[in-house]
């Protein structure tokens, strides 16, 4: 029982804080933070656990968003099924390009993903304009039916849904982290030869990680689609390719709660800074360079070791009250 508590403790604390934030800050802001952090989680997993940076996450976001959009616009009205459709299309896209992308060197991987994002942007905007309505986007807010338990059409209840989904996502990633597969992912980043000697296939580890990460991204896209009731090619525009990368680094690549912290800081800064100085790119570029040159740990990446050390010191003083010497 104690072990279960300790496993869940971090996640419950983090989401309790998130819930507390909801009481203080406006609803649209908190929903944006929740969905954006799910979006970033995919990028964070790729960068922190595999060592791959992808400048093309908008591609998979669009896959999820458009999958949901097509379903809700053309086929049915149930938003839950719509979200499932979005996840499925994200999985399909990732499954299609994954086997090729994952074999590439880290820089080619980043570039190729960006090229994919640009291609999907162009596809949605011009080539498939007949079914995607091009820049006008697909509007389906009216289509979303009222569902029994939680009416996803209403923002308040949507927030509860997104909150629970995020909780599930974090529990899933924590489980992954603690599993053997999670150790394999880390190993494939640190030393792939040794992993091969242990009998694991680097390619397979990377491919599954790629699928998991980008399906998570597609889930975020599906959530965006249902929340906004509207999808346009702008969601995958190349100018937005920087968002998940910046937030990942800002929060702390490879940490579990980095995306939450990063998404919160990024969305907050965007609101505050945009009012003060109009020039958002200058600020974010400068911030990114500074973080990278200062050790690339990010906000949670620097806080977490400090908190861990504090916790350890407190436990030491509690257990060595008698004065037994510790090494």
Partner 1 sequence: MMDVQLLTSGVIFGLSIGSIFFLMSIGLSLCFGLMRIISLDQLLYYSIGAYLTYSVSLATGSMWLGTLAGVAVAGAASFVVERVVFPRIYARELTFSMITSFGVLFGGIGVIKLFWGVVPRPVPVPTLAQVSILGTEVPVYRVIVIGIAAMVYAGIWLFLNRTIIGKAIRAGIESVEHVEGLGINVARLFTITFIIAGTLSGLAGGLHAPLIMVDPQMGLEVLAFVFMVVIIGGLGSIKGTLVSALIVGQVVSLGSLVYAPLAQMAPFAIMLLILLVKPTGLYGSPLLKR
What are φ and ψ of residue 285, in 5° steps?
-65, -45
The CA distance from 327 to 324, in Å, is 10
How is residue 46 annotated by DSSP? I
Query: Is 122 one of the binding residues for partner 1 (CB under 8 A)?
Result: yes
Question: Do residues 55 and 241 make contact, with C-beta atoms less than 8 angstroms apart?
Answer: yes
Query: Is 283 one of the binding residues for partner 1 (CB under 8 A)?
Result: yes
Nearest CB to partner 1, comparing residues 20 and 272: 272
Question: Do residues 65 and 120 make contact, with C-beta atoms less than 8 angstroms apart?
Answer: no
Nearest CB to partner 1, comparing residues 30 and 61: 61
Question: Do residues 75 and 86 make contact, with C-beta atoms less than 8 angstroms apart?
Answer: no
Both tokens of 295, joined, read 């050790």
Nearest CB to partner 1, comparing residues 52 and 158: 52
Query: Is 201 one of the binding residues for partner 1 (CB under 8 A)?
Result: no
Choose which of 25, 119, 145, 167 interacts with partner 1 (CB under 8 A): 119
Nearest CB to partner 1, comparing residues 21 and 277: 277
Stretch that binds partner 1, among 10-18, 105-113, 265-273, 297-305 (CB under 8 A): 105-113
The CA distance from 212 to 52, in Å, is 14
Query: Is 126 one of the binding residues for partner 1 (CB under 8 A)?
Result: yes
The CA distance from 130 to 271, in Å, is 35
Stretch that binds partner 1, among 20-28, 68-76, 110-118, 160-168 (CB under 8 A): 110-118
Choose which of 280, 307, 310, 314 interacts with partner 1 (CB under 8 A): 280
The minimum distance between CB 314 and partner 1, in angstroms, equals 35
Count of other CB atoms within 10 angstroms of residue 178: 11
Nearest CB to partner 1, comparing residues 193 and 318: 193
Query: Is 269 one of the binding residues for partner 1 (CB under 8 A)?
Result: no
The CA distance from 233 to 221, in Å, is 12
In angstroms, what is the C-alpha Rg of the chain?
Answer: 21
The CA distance from 47 to 7, in Å, is 24
Count of other CB atoms within 10 angstroms of residue 142: 10
Query: Is 184 one of the binding residues for partner 1 (CB under 8 A)?
Result: no
The minimum distance between CB 284 and partner 1, in angstroms, equals 6
Query: Is 178 one of the binding residues for partner 1 (CB under 8 A)?
Result: no
Under the rule (CB under 8 A), what is the footprint of partner 1? 47, 51-53, 55, 100, 103-108, 110-112, 114-116, 118-119, 122-123, 126-127, 192, 238-239, 242, 245, 249, 279-289, 292-293, 296
């Amino acid at each position: 029982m104690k072990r279960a508590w300790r496993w869940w403790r971090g996640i419950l604390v983090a989401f309790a804080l998130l819930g507390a934030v909801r009481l203080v800050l406006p609803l649209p802001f908190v929903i944006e933070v929740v969905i954006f952090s799910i979006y970033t989680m995919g990028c964070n997993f790729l960068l922190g656990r595999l060592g791959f940076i992808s400048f093309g996450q908008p591609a998979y976001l669009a896959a999820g968003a458009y999958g949901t959009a097509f379903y809700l616009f053309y086929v049915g009205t149930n938003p839950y099924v719509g979200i499932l459709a979005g996840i499925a299309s994200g999985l399909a896209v990732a499954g299609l390009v994954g086997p090729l992308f994952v074999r590439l060197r880290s820089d080619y991987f980043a570039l190729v993903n960006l090229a994919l994002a640009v291609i999907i942007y162009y596809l949605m905007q011009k080539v498939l304009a007949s079914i995607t309505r091009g820049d006008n986007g697909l509007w389906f807010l009216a289509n979303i039916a009222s569902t029994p338990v939680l009416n996803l059409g209403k923002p308040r209840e949507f927030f509860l849904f997104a909150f629970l989904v995020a909780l599930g996502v974090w529990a899933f990633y924590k489980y992954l982290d603690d599993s053997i597969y999670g150790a394999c992912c880390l190993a494939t980043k640190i030393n792939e030869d040794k992993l091969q000697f242990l009998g694991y296939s680097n390619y397979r580890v990377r491919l599954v990680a790629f699928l998991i990460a980008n399906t998570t991204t597609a889930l975020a896209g599906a959530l965006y689609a249902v929340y906004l009731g509207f999808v346009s090619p702008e969601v995958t525009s190349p100018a937005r390719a920087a968002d998940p990368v910046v937030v990942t680094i800002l929060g702390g690549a490879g940490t579990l709660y980095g995306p939450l912290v990063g998404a919160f800081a990024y969305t907050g800064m965007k609101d505050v800074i945009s009012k003060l100085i109009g020039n958002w790119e200058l600020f974010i570029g400068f911030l990114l360079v500074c973080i990278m040159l200062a050790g690339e740990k990010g906000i949670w990446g620097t806080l977490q070791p400090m908190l861990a050390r504090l916790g350890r010191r407190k436990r030491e003083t509690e257990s060595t009250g008698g004065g037994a010497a510790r090494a």
